[in-house]
Copies of this chain bind each other. A is one copy, B any other.
Amino acid sequence: MPNPGQIGPREREILTAIVDTYIATGEPVGSRTLSRHNKDGLSPATIRNVMSDLAESGFLEQPHTSAGRVPTSQAYRYYVDQISGKATISAADQTLISDTLQGTVDVQEFLERTSHVLSLVSSGVGVAIGNVGPKNALEHVYFSRQGNNRVLAVVVTKSGVVHDRMMRLERDLDQSDLNTAANYINENFRGWIISQVKTELCRRIEHERSEYDRLMKNLEELYKGGALAAEEPAKNIFVEGVANLVGNDQDRLRLRDLVKTLEEKERVADLLSAYLDTRQEAVRVVIGLEEAVPEMRNFVLIGAPARVGEEMRGSLAVIGPTRMDYQHTITAVSYIAQLFDKLLNENT
- Tell me the A residues contacting B by CB distance below 8 Å: 105-106, 109, 112, 139-140, 142, 144, 146-148, 150, 152, 154, 156, 160, 162, 164, 166-168, 234, 240-243, 246-247, 252-253, 255-257, 259-260, 263, 347-348
Contacts and interface: CB of A to CB of B under 8 A. Distances in A.
B106 A166 contact: yes
A162 to B, nearest CB: 4
A136 to B, nearest CB: 14
A262 to B, nearest CB: 8
Contacts of A259: 242-243, 246
Nearest to A232: B109
Instruction: Please state the number of chain copies in the assembly.
Output: 2
Contacts of A146: 139, 160
A152 B144 contact: no
A90 B192 CA distance: 51
A106 to B, nearest CB: 4
B242 A247 contact: no
A241 B264 CA distance: 10
Contacts of A242: 242, 259, 263
A244 B168 CA distance: 35
28 contacts: A105-B166, A105-B167, A105-B168, A109-B166, A142-B154, A144-B156, A146-B160, A147-B347, A148-B347, A152-B156, A154-B154, A154-B164, A160-B166, A164-B164, A168-B347, A241-B263, A242-B242, A242-B259, A242-B263, A243-B256, A243-B257, A243-B263, A246-B246, A246-B252, A246-B259, A247-B252, A247-B253, A247-B256
Nearest to A104: B166
Contacts of A148: 347-348
A162 B160 contact: no
